[in-house]
Structure 1
Amino acid sequence: IKVMGSYCPSCWYPCFPTDLVTPVKSFLNILDSLGIRCPVKECDEEILHGKYGQHISSHKEKKDRELYSHINKGGRPRQHLLSLTRRAQKHRLRELKRQVRAFAEKEEGGDIKAVCMTLFLLALRAKNEHKQADELEAIMQGRGSGLHPAVCLAIRVNTFLSCSQYHKMYRTVKAVTGRQIFQPLHALRTAEKALLPGYHPFEWKPPLKNVSTNTEVGIIDGLSGLPL
């Protein structure tokens, strides 16, 4: 039916695929083993009938890639995407970005990040880079291999490291392992603020006699719970 159209191959009477019975498996095996010469220009390869559709699809994909690729008429040679500046990357990917945004708004409630990360994960797994994909997936789900900022702060304090010494260690570990195991200094500062008195609001229940109800207390503002 796919080859002949919506007609019976015997009497040429109009029909639908559901009107015909699938041939026996032995006949299909013989049919799939027949050799067919590829009609695409400059290919002229002989392929089996069973793999004809796959072969033609590969030609179509190659043609689509050639149509999509940028035609560089003179000037500088085209640079690889990763070697470009952020502005140039945005300019080159503007059409793809528009399509991803449209898909995200239509299918995923506007979550562009989730769509892009999923595409990246699928690309990694397609290249059998499952370890990197697993690590990225763990980071996306909040269970990455890196240490918590509060743990890094405890390490820095207990080992008597200055900020510059810790930063040097952070950069070295990141460069050697290729992963961010320790957290940057700004994350440690945020964790330190959260651990200091007066960061989290609280209220005594029942209220304490002769003690201020003001929650902005602690060493940050120096009030130390004194009545105002």
Structure 2
Amino acid sequence: LDNLGIRCTVKECEEEILHEKYGQHLSSHKEMKDRELYSHINKGGRPRQHLLSLTRRAQKHRLRELKRQVKAFAEKEEGGDIKSVCMTLFLLALRAKNEHRQADELEAIMQGRGSGLHPAVCLAIRVNTFLSCSQYHKMYRTVKAVTGRQIFQPLHALRTAEKALLPGYHPFEWKPPLKNVSTNTQVGIIDGLSGLPLSIDDYPVDTITKRFRYDAALVCALKDMEEEILEGMKAKNLDDYLNGPFTVVVKES
């Protein structure tokens, strides 16, 4: 039956096709008809410009009908989330053309991950490879210029990440409050020799002049262990205590 010849019923075609390929042949006619319906008839004047070469206003004008259809679909099916519908269409178009790398990058951006490295990761790379700030900045600019993408993060993002990792970033409180001590918990590096005579020959001065306050360092360590502490409390069935944010209170013994 598949080898049976059938004459095409479409006007001005009348081609004879095998039965097994008849459905495919009819589909090609339908695609051609759809293209003709959407094809723009240029009635003279300037040649029709490509969509991407137009101004934003002209792009909006040309796509106005499609925008209406997408908006109607988004409101009916996706709770009005037009952005997700458009992004998904773009993702499907990329994957249909086997452009999976670009699609993966777009998907990462949609999920809030971005295609670049996290500032904390960039900071770890800079520290572990012994790069100075100027050397890192040169590498950052070179990679951005060569690839056209911001894979590494700028120095100001690294400094912000560093502040979050160092003691003095997380708020905490003493119970009872300490006498003659400021309640400000944003304490950075302090002078370990404050109030002491400078003639200390028995100790290398550089190692004790700059240090972090003990309580701020303790809080920083606890915040780093936050996930492990919470998991341990859940394992011990102490979920009743997990009804608020993870805060640190230092109590005087």
TM-score by length of 1: 0.61
The whole-number CA distance in structure 2 between the counterparts of 1:130 and 1:215 is 48
Q: Which has the higher strand share?
A: 2
Q: Is the 8 A contact 1:138 1:144 kept in 2?
A: yes
The whole-number CA distance in structure 2 between the counterparts of 1:223 and 1:107 is 67
Q: Is the 8 A contact 1:170 1:182 kept in 2?
A: yes
> Cα offset for 1:38?
2.2
The whole-number CA distance in structure 2 between the counterparts of 1:81 and 1:202 is 56
| Secondary structure of 2:22's aligned partner | helix
Root-mean-square deviation (CA, aligned residues, Å) is 5.0
Q: Gaps (5+ residues) in structure 1?
A: 1-30
Change (3 A) 1:109 1:177: same
1:152 corresponding residue in structure 2 = 122
Q: Does 1:174 align with 2:148?
A: no
Q: Is the 8 A contact 1:214 1:225 kept in 2?
A: no
Deviation per residue, 1:165-194 (Å, 9 max, x gap): 977754542342243312357756765786
Q: Is the 8 A contact 1:217 1:225 kept in 2?
A: no
Change (3 A) 1:181 1:124: same
Q: Is the 8 A contact 1:217 1:224 kept in 2?
A: no
Change (3 A) 1:146 1:37: same
| Secondary structure of 2:17's aligned partner | strand
> Cα offset for 1:130?
2.4
> Cα offset for 1:123?
1.1
| Secondary structure of 1:40's aligned partner | coil
> Cα offset for 1:60?
1.6
Change (3 A) 1:73 1:146: same
Q: Gaps (5+ residues) in structure 2?
A: 198-253
Structure 1 vs Structure 2: percent identity of aligned residues? 95
Range with bigger deviation, 213-222 or 178-187 = 213-222
Range with bigger deviation, 164-173 or 128-137 = 164-173
Change (3 A) 1:104 1:177: same
> Cα offset for 1:213?
4.6
Change (3 A) 1:90 1:204: farther
| Secondary structure of 2:139's aligned partner | helix
Change (3 A) 1:141 1:40: same
The whole-number CA distance in structure 2 between the counterparts of 1:126 and 1:202 is 53
1:212 corresponding residue in structure 2 = 182
Change (3 A) 1:95 1:184: farther
Change (3 A) 1:34 1:192: same
Tell me the matched-pair count: 197
Q: Is the 8 A contact 1:212 1:226 kept in 2?
A: no
Range with bigger deviation, 69-78 or 182-191 = 182-191
Q: Is the 8 A contact 1:156 1:166 kept in 2?
A: yes
Change (3 A) 1:61 1:159: same
The whole-number CA distance in structure 2 between the counterparts of 1:113 and 1:206 is 52
Range with bigger deviation, 202-211 or 161-170 = 161-170
Change (3 A) 1:112 1:161: farther
Range with bigger deviation, 207-216 or 171-180 = 207-216
| Secondary structure of 2:95's aligned partner | helix
| Secondary structure of 2:73's aligned partner | helix
Structure number with greater CO (CA < 8 Å, separation at least 6) is 2
Q: Is the 8 A contact 1:198 1:218 kept in 2?
A: yes
Range with bigger deviation, 171-180 or 199-208 = 199-208
